Amino acid sequence: QLQKDLEEVKKLLTNATRKRVRDVLVAEKQKLELEIKNQPPPKPKDVAEEEKSSLGGYTVKINNYGWDQSDKFVKIYISLNGVQKLPAENVQVNFTERSFDLLVKNLNGKNYTMTFNNLLKSISVEGSSRKIKTDMVLVMCKKKREEKWDCLTQVEKESKEKEKAAYDTTDPSEGLMNILKKMYAEGDDEMKRTINKAWVESREKQYKGDIPMDI
């Protein structure tokens, strides 16, 4: 913008005939030249921003996957139609000791991402890799220790333990009650009506003495 102003001033200076006007234009010219000289050099584009702008399309978060394991690896299978047709550099996986994230660029005009944080156990970054197969990306996480994983992430493990604790009780009727509460909370109107009806009938039988009070 300053460069354009300077060019404009130079043109006016060429056509100016009156001394006062020329003096004003010369002063303005010098001022602009000084401003241009003192301007900071243009900053290089941030690498992440540059990559972002080169992605194009829009980004889809991958939620569906399958997984299994061997003694040495945890394997995550991600289905993506036509992924084998992409250049290899368009399928990137970054590993850390307890996480990985997958980025698939420009597959049918879309980008796909998947992130796993807080993996259940540590993995070897150097030993982990990805393979591109027909309509599928296979992420291979190399286990640091050859032991069985019950699930993929710490969050999944905690969730399973909480659920187990809710039903693991020495009192069978309490465990049954927890299951009924969960069914009631997650069920539709029909399920809630059925549970309510069963509950009312159970209480009526208790009062009549047909069944023991502790059930």
Confirm whether 215 is domain-assigned: no
Backbone phi, then psi, for 147, in 5-degree steps? -140, 160
**118 and 64 share a domain?**
yes
Q: Is residue 162 part of a domain?
A: no
Q: What local confidence, expressed as pLDDT, does residue 24 receive?
A: 85
Task: Write phi, then psi, for 60 (nearest 5 degrees).
Answer: -110, 130
Look-up of token digits 């850390």: 96
Encoded tokens for 137 = 């990306």
> CA 210 to CA 139: how far, in whole Å?
59
Q: Do the domain assignments include residue 88?
A: yes
The pLDDT of residue 173 is: 60
* 126 and 195 fall within a common domain: no
Note whether 86 and 133 are same-domain residues: yes
Report whether pLDDT(141) > 50.
yes
Q: Average the pLDDT over 102-126 and give the result.
A: 93
Q: Could you report the per-residue pLDDT of 20-32, keeping only the tens digit for each?
A: 888 888 888 888 7
**Is 51 contained in some domain?**
no
- 84-113 confidence digits (pLDDT tens): 999 999 999 999 999 999 999 999 889 999
CA atoms of 92 and 37, how far apart (whole Å): 43
Neighbours of 56 (CB within 10 A): 11
Least confident of 9-23, 70-84, 100-114, 196-210: 196-210
CATH code where residue 3 lies: 4.10.860
Domain containing 125 — which CATH number? 2.60.40.790
The reply to whether 84 falls in a domain is yes
Kind and range of the H or E run holding 34: helix 19-38
Same domain as 121, residue 70: yes
The total of structural domains in the chain comes to 3
Q: Please check whether residues 114 and 182 belong to one and the same domain.
A: no
The one-letter amino acid code at 200 reads V
The number of residues making up the chain comes to 215
Q: Are residues 64 and 114 in the same domain?
A: yes
Picking from 47, 149, 63, the residue whose alpha carbon sits closest to that of residue 98 is 149
Instruction: Please tell me whether residues 79 and 113 are part of one structural domain.
Output: yes
CB 31 within 8 A of CB 43: no
**Which amino acid, residue 184?**
Y
pLDDT band (50, 70, 90) for residue 79: very high
Q: What contacts 58, CB < 8 A, 6 or more positions away?
A: 110, 111
Is there a single domain that holds both residue 68 and residue 105? yes
Range of the domain at 74: 59-143
What DSSP state is assigned to residue 83?
G
- Which DSSP category does 93 fall into? E
Residues 29 and 85 grouped into a single domain: no
Looking at the structure, tell me whether residues 79 and 32 fall in a common domain.
Answer: no
Same domain? For 65 and 137 the reply is yes
9 plus 81 within the same structural domain:
no
**How many whole angstroms separate alpha carbon 184 and alpha carbon 101?**
37
User: Residue 44: inside a domain, yes or no?
Assistant: no
> Is 60 exceeded by the pLDDT of residue 55?
no
